Amino acid sequence: KKFVVIVCNMSSNQQKNYQIKVPQEGTYREIFNSDSKCYAGKGVENTGDISSSKYQTRYEGVKDFITLTLPPLTATMYELDGQ
């Protein structure tokens, strides 16, 4: 089953070390970033492999997350490698 993780930063501030839950453990890669230079953006991108990590939640048990840098006023998309 294929899926895409979509993250939007609607604030005017860059968000560093932003953690977001993902539905499956593994390595993710950025497939779209509206801040890319090809869209006349500044080019703040998450390049290379983005490995998920695990964390313990109080109510949901152990979950997977990825840590990102989100440019201001952008939309980004990520997919699990090997889907």
pLDDT in 10s for each residue of the chain, 83 residues: 789 999 999 999 999 999 999 999 999 999 999 999 999 999 999 999 999 999 887 887 889 999 999 999 999 999 999 87
pLDDT at 59: 81
Closest CA to 46 of 34, 57, 33: 33
For residue 79 the two structure tokens come to 């997919």
The secondary structure of the chain in percent helix, strand, coil, rounded to multiples of 5, reads 5, 55, 40
Closest CA to 19 of 70, 53, 67: 67
pTM confidence score: 0.88
| Greatest C-alpha distance within the chain | 42
Contact 71/35 with Cβ under 8 angstroms?
Answer: yes
